[in-house]
Amino acid sequence: MLQRLDKTLDHHLAEAAARYGTPAYVYFTDEIASRLEALRTAFGRWFAISYAVKSNPSPALLDWMRDRLDYLDISSGGEFALSQQAGWNPELISFTGPAKREFELRPAIQAGLGELVLESLREARLADAIAGELGRVQPVLIRLAPDRVPKGFGDQMAGRPSAFGVDVEDAAEILPQIAALPNLRIIGLHIYSGTQSLKPDAICENWRIFMQVFTETCSALDLRPEKLIFGSGLGIPYHPGEQALDLSQIAATIGPELDDFRARFPSARLVLELGRHLVGPAGYFLTRVVSVKQSRGSRIAICDGGLNDNLAASGNFGMVLRRNYVMHRVGGDQDGALPVEKHDISGPLCTSIDKLGGAVELPRLDEGDLLAIHAAGAYGPTASPLYFISHPLPSEIMVTGGQMQDITRLGNG
């Protein structure tokens, strides 16, 4: 987007900062729409698309998505409430998460939740009791944890001890017990075992594992699935030098196997579940330089937003070795008037880990300059310790067709 719309992008970012202040997140729905179109072009032959709300639960974005996406996946009662605030039909929602509680399950089941994704026998028994009290039979998917995940994923949720789903080694014992519960109806299976991969071969191998597990489990249960959910694992580039995935390459590689798999389960709807891949690159985090200092040979730009607002960019959201996110000075180098220099980028907090970049080459930053951090559309404010040290909370701005809207939710009551 930056390469195609450099001046237009910076115009919107500067306008957002001027109108709504900083720090701020700016989300471009036109970019989300473009990414959704690319997903449907590559994978629409096989998959419907489900959006993982945890990646960005903004009610305004969920409302915008309502007539554009097939399904939502929520991971808490709070996210279910946000989906209802945004007008989503409960029948189009699946509910994952390893620690669901009675007060979350009851309203969702009562509202007509599409599928409850079961992650344990405890959860199945609790849901069965609630559904029985409500006089309902709740459709459920069983989440399975494969015994291996290929190398190449930023986070693994299977192939080792995991809080997520039923281990495939235990499925033969646990699944028949779930199937025997009278107020639940197993309609399919769910796997999300790895995320944030930029390696097409790893993604394809992971989906092969899914297909094998689905096939074996359906055979063992004598299950004719109505829905099978594939956790996509599709990553996005965060750091300089990383390359975006070629979705057509993935489709060409795995397509014949998906054709065979779909022919084996003709009555099942295959669903690709994803979050960051759709919304991550469509967002930018804006922070303004408050102070600049020289310290022992380093030029340090101290900004009004830091890890309190964007934990991921600080390297403290699951990153083993800290790496800089792609970022740019809004306004560029002023047609060559500003020399490119190395900067350490710090936030406003009284902790040494509040660092948004180290030795970042940027046009010379001075007080008042505006910095945009890329790939900020997913795991932004709701994944950050916003109240640490009690600085002002970031604004959230949505831009659709050039029109700007303040969609800030947090801190507004």
Please state, in angstroms and rounded to a whole number, the distance separating the CA atoms of residues 167 and 323. Answer: 33
**127 and 250 part of one domain:** yes
Last residue of a domain, one of 231, 255, 274: 274
Residue 39 lies in a domain: no
Angle between the N-to-C axes of helices 102-111 and 77-85, in degrees from 0 to 180, rounded to the nearest 10 = 30
Domain that holds residue 104: 89-274
- Is residue 375 predicted with pLDDT exceeding 60? yes
Tally of structural domains, the chain: 2
Residues 382, 393 contacting (CB under 8 angstroms): no
202, 246: one domain? yes
pLDDT tens digits along 89-134 = 999 999 999 999 999 999 999 999 999 999 999 999 999 999 999 9
Please report the sign of the dihedral spanned by the C-alpha atoms of residue 407, residue 78, residue 110, residue 140: positive
Percent above pLDDT 90 for the chain = 89
**Together in a domain, 100 and 136:** yes
Mean pLDDT for the chain overall: 94
Residue 289 CB: number of other CB atoms within 10 A?
20
Residue 214 belongs to a domain with what CATH number? Answer: 3.20.20.10
Q: Does the annotation count 350 as an active-site position?
A: yes
Task: Give yes or no for a contact between 322 and 36, defined as CB atoms under 8 angstroms apart.
Answer: no
pLDDT of residue 290: 98
Q: Residues with Cβ < 8 Å from 170, sequence gap 6 or more?
A: none
pLDDT the model gives residue 149 = 85
Location of structure tokens 């937003």: 305
Report the relative pairing of strands 227-231 and 184-191 from DSSP bridges.
Answer: parallel
Q: What is the pLDDT of residues 220-256, one digit of tens each?
A: 989 999 999 999 999 999 999 999 999 999 999 999 9
pTM score, two decimals?
0.95
What distance in Å separates the CA atoms of residue 255 and residue 260, rounded to the nearest whole number?
9
Q: Which position among 204, 218, 303, 350 bears the catalytic label?
A: 350
Cβ 342 vs Cβ 306: under 8 Å: no
